[in-house]
Each structure stands twice: as structure tokens, then as C-alpha cells.
Amino acid sequence: MPLFLVIKNVVMRSLFKALDDYYVDNRGEVGSWVCETAMDGLERCTYILCRRDAMNFLNKSEELGQASNNAVVTSHATDTLFDIDLATNLVAGIVKQADEKMDKVREAAAEVLRRILYNNTIFVPFIPHQEKLEEIFPNELGLKWG
């Protein structure tokens, strides 16, 4: 299985499951550490897949030339690694963490979502309800979500 498909189908699935970790031991809520790390991993994997999709799109555009631009856009929407299902699961998982009882988990979730929504380097497509999310999560550093 190619590396990018492993990231999409194995790594990200595991990270989504980790968002449901509520383990507690003598050190406290260890699950919150797992959730924060999972959100970080999901963000990084999202950028990896979106960057790869952008490179594939550019390569297809160059191969087909400017005359077939519409065909490339249509093809790109169905041949992406980062698809609408992944975007929906990503936003749902992070928004769920933004509503957790621990301040540090809420703040981490809000910051991850802010970075994904407003990333100037890597475009993350298919974000559901993006306009509404941008109203709720403004592009301001240091917001206190706790």
C-alpha cells in the first residue's frame, strides 16, 4: 500500500480513535494527553495529504494543458487523498474536543482548528460549514478557550 494511502486509511483512522481516549490513572487524565497528541497528528496528516493532492493536481494540469482545465478540476474532486469524508471526520473530531471539560484540551482543539481554517501555506478543502466555523473560531492568536 502506498505511503499516502497508509496515512489516510491507517494512521488517520487510529488518530480518530485516539480522540475517544478517556483513560485516567494515578497521573491524572492520561487520555487528555492522547487526545491532544492525536489532534496534532491529524493536523499534520491533513497537511501531508493536502500537499500531495495539490502536487498531483498541478502535475495533471501540466499533462493535460490549459485547454482541458475543466476536466482536471472534475477529476481532482474525485481522485483526492483528502476527501469530503475525511474533512468531515476531522472537523467533527476536533470540534468535539473543543467542547471537552478540560481547559487545555479545549484550547488545543480551538488552536488546531484555527490553524487548519486559516492556513496560508496549504489549502485544506472540503471543510464543512467553513464560514460558520470561521465566525466561531476567529483567526486570532492566543484566544482563551478554557
Q: What is the pLDDT of residue 57?
A: 86
Residue 48 to residue 59: CA distance in whole angstroms = 17
Spell out a b/e string for 88-122, using b for 16 or more CB atoms within 10 Å of the CB, else e: eebbebbbebbebebeebbbbbbbbbbebbeeeee
Q: What is the pLDDT of residue 140?
A: 87
What digits encode the pLDDT tens for the residues 75-109? Answer: 445 579 999 999 999 999 999 999 998 999 999 99
Q: What is the pTM of this model?
A: 0.85
pLDDT < 70 regions, the chain: 1, 28, 65-78, 146
